[in-house]
Amino acid sequence: MLIKPESIQKVGNLLIDTVHEEEIRVINELYDALVKKDIDKADKLMDEMLIDLEDHFTTEEELMREFEFFAYPMHKAEHDQMRKRFKEVYDKWKKEKNTQEVIHFLKDEFVIWLKSHVARWDRTTAEQLGD
C-alpha cells in the first residue's frame, strides 16, 4: 500500500470524496502490482488509472462549470498539468514496462501532487459547491 485513504483530506462533498477513494484504491493496487513486478496486472491498472484520472478531473470540472466556480481556470490548469504528466508516464510505460519508473512517479510525484491538490483546490471547490 502506497497511500492510506485517511491521508487524503475529505473535502465534504460526497461525490468528490468518493472519486478520491476510488483513485486511492487504483493507485494502491497499481503500486502493489509494480512492486511485485506483475507486469500484466500493472498494465491493466495503468489503463484503469488513465481512465480514472480523466473521470476524476472531468467530474470536478463539470461541477465547477455548473456552479460557476470562480477558480475554475486555475483548478483546471492543475488538472491539465497532471493529465499531461501522467500521459507521458503512461506512454513510456506502454513502450518499456519499467516498473521502477512508475513507482518513482507515484511515490515522488503523484501522491505528493494529489495530497496538495486535494487540500488546496478540491477542498476550496467543495466548500463553494456544498454537498
pLDDT in tens, 27-40: 999 999 999 999 99
Percentage of the chain beyond pLDDT 70 is 98
**DSSP conformation letters of 14-40:** HHHHHHHHHHHHHHHHHHHHHHTT-HH
Q: What is the pLDDT of residue 12?
A: 85
Measure the CA–CA gap between 66 and 77, rounded to whole angstroms.
Answer: 17
Torsion of CA 14, 28, 5, 12, to 10 degrees: -20
Measure the CA–CA gap between 119 and 96, rounded to whole angstroms.
Answer: 34
Task: Supply the pTM of this predicted model.
Answer: 0.91
**CA dist list (Å): 101 to 34, 40, 85, 89, 118:** 10, 16, 13, 8, 24
Q: Is 121 helix (H, G, I), strand (E, B) or coil?
A: helix
Domain 10-129: CATH architecture, name and number where available:
Up-down Bundle (1.20)
Residue type for position 36: K
Measure the CA–CA gap between 44 and 47, rounded to whole angstroms.
Answer: 5
Residue 45 is placed in which grid cell? 491498472
Q: Which pLDDT tens digit goes with each residue over 80-101?
A: 999 999 999 999 999 999 999 9
Q: Is pLDDT at 131 greater than 60 in this prediction? A: no
